[in-house]
Copies of this chain bind each other. A is one copy, B any other.
Amino acid sequence: MTVTETPATPAPQSHRLTTAKAMADGIAEEMRRDPAVIYLGEDVGAYGGIFGSTTGLLDEFGPTRVLDTPISESAFIGLGIGAAVEGMRPIVELMFADFMGVCLDQIYNHMAKIHFESGGNVKVPMVLTTAVGGGYSDAAQHSQCLWGTFAHLPGMKVVVPSNPYDAKGLMISAIRDDNPVVYMFHKGVMGLAWMAKNPRASADVPDGAYTVEIGKAATARKGTDVTVVTLSLSVHHALDVAERLAPQGIDVEVIDLRSLVPLDREAILGSVARTGHLVVVDEDYLSFGLSGEVVATVTEHDPGMLRAAAVRVANPDTPVPYSRPLEQVVLPGPARIEAAIRKVLGG
């Protein structure tokens, strides 16, 4: 039910880790291997990252490689860019993706474009990590996904792990990639002690370094009746719904995109070709984003593949409300996913 690379039985050398710990583990592996790798951002040192992304790293690597920064996102993301240009492999944390507005210029006009503008002569091998997502009443400025925004702007890869195995493998791939990679982790998949956890937020993760290829979607669950294309925390919701519907004779295939850029269009088309039914589940805003792109991918290939109108389940273009009952209907939760599946199947 999880990703194809995950061994069916735990490998002998493995530990049960949360997604957060798996992410930090991947970073530590690479920091051991390559002295050019550093991690910088707000509260990534003694605090260990507000969402646990750097737990233990300061202890092992010290303050010259794990650096707390001032609240100056443009300056320190730019610092990462310059360091990457000069041969380092910086990982830079933007605490919440919601804060992109104070530093997007460094991200999209510099980090993402320098390689192109230089005609390939200058590489910017850096990783920009950032927390996304809602569900715990953090309101309109701390709950956004925004991956559609990052993915729309060319020149950066965008990865979005949903589970511990991918979190580690995609992190190692991201660090080794010669391109800028935006690594977006949903708070709800991190397995934090202080937040509601999906059981899949902890899993056996192989020790040592391994990679998950960036740009390949995973079939999180095979199924024959309907394709649910999704990512990040919504993968868990989709799997929960799929399990609930299976006994009712509805066999749901769940595609975990794992990255928006590159987008694995073949995986989408391949699955829809088999099922003929498409539901897209996306916690980001509905319009002008990922969900439309997935639907358009099918339609510009062959609208005849779809035996029914595609259905999108996303944030209805609404700032994330604070109050719980409001937030819960704005998020693409299990109830809305189930309704969409029934609708696309003509129920």
A303 touches B306 (CB 8 A): yes
B263 touches A287 (CB 8 A): yes
Task: Verify if A107 is at the interface (C-beta below 8 Å from B).
Answer: yes
Question: Which of chain B's residues have a CB closer than 8 A to the CB of A311?
Answer: 300
The complex is assembled from copies of this chain, and their number is 2
A-side interface size class: 35 or more
Task: Verify if A148 is at the interface (C-beta below 8 Å from B).
Answer: yes
Shortest distance from the beta carbon of A169 to any chain B beta carbon, whole Å: 24
B287 touches A151 (CB 8 A): yes
A148 touches B288 (CB 8 A): yes
Question: Which of chain B's residues have a CB closer than 8 A to the CB of A295?
Answer: 292, 295-296, 299-300
Task: Verify if A312 is at the interface (C-beta below 8 Å from B).
Answer: yes
Residue among A149, A155, A263 having the largest count of chain B Cβ atoms under 10 Å: A149
Shortest distance from the beta carbon of A107 to any chain B beta carbon, whole Å: 7
B296 touches A291 (CB 8 A): yes
Measured in the bound complex, the distance between the Cα atoms of B222 and A267 in whole Å is 38
Measured in the bound complex, the distance between the Cα atoms of B296 and A312 in whole Å is 9
A289 touches B154 (CB 8 A): no
Measured in the bound complex, the distance between the Cα atoms of B116 and A75 in whole Å is 31
Measured in the bound complex, the distance between the Cα atoms of B103 and A103 in whole Å is 8
Q: Which residues, 286 to 316 on A, are CB-close (under 8 Å) to B?
A: 287-293, 295-304, 306, 308-312
Question: Which of chain B's residues have a CB closer than 8 A to the CB of A148?
Answer: 152, 288
A299 touches B301 (CB 8 A): no
B-contact 0/1 string along A141-176, CB 8 Å cutoff: 100000011011111000000000000000000000
Measured in the bound complex, the distance between the Cα atoms of B100 and A139 in whole Å is 23
- In the complex, the chain B residue whose C-beta lies closest to that of A102 is B105
Question: Which of chain B's residues have a CB closer than 8 A to the CB of A297?
Answer: 292
Task: Verify if A285 is at the interface (C-beta below 8 Å from B).
Answer: yes
- In the complex, the chain B residue whose C-beta lies closest to that of A108 is B101
B116 touches A319 (CB 8 A): yes
Shortest distance from the beta carbon of A254 to any chain B beta carbon, whole Å: 20
B299 touches A303 (CB 8 A): yes
Binding site for B on A (CB under 8 A): 74, 98-109, 112-113, 116-117, 139-141, 148-149, 151-155, 260-261, 263, 285, 287-293, 295-304, 306, 308-312, 317-319, 321
- 23 A–B pairs (Cβ distance < 8 Å), ordered by A: A101-B103, A101-B105, A101-B107, A101-B108, A101-B109, A102-B104, A102-B105, A112-B319, A116-B319, A152-B285, A152-B287, A152-B289, A155-B319, A261-B287, A263-B287, A293-B296, A295-B295, A295-B296, A295-B299, A299-B306, A301-B309, A302-B309, A303-B306
The 8 tightest CB contacts between A and B, nearest first, are A101-B105, A101-B104, A295-B296, A292-B292, A292-B296, A152-B288, A292-B293, A303-B303
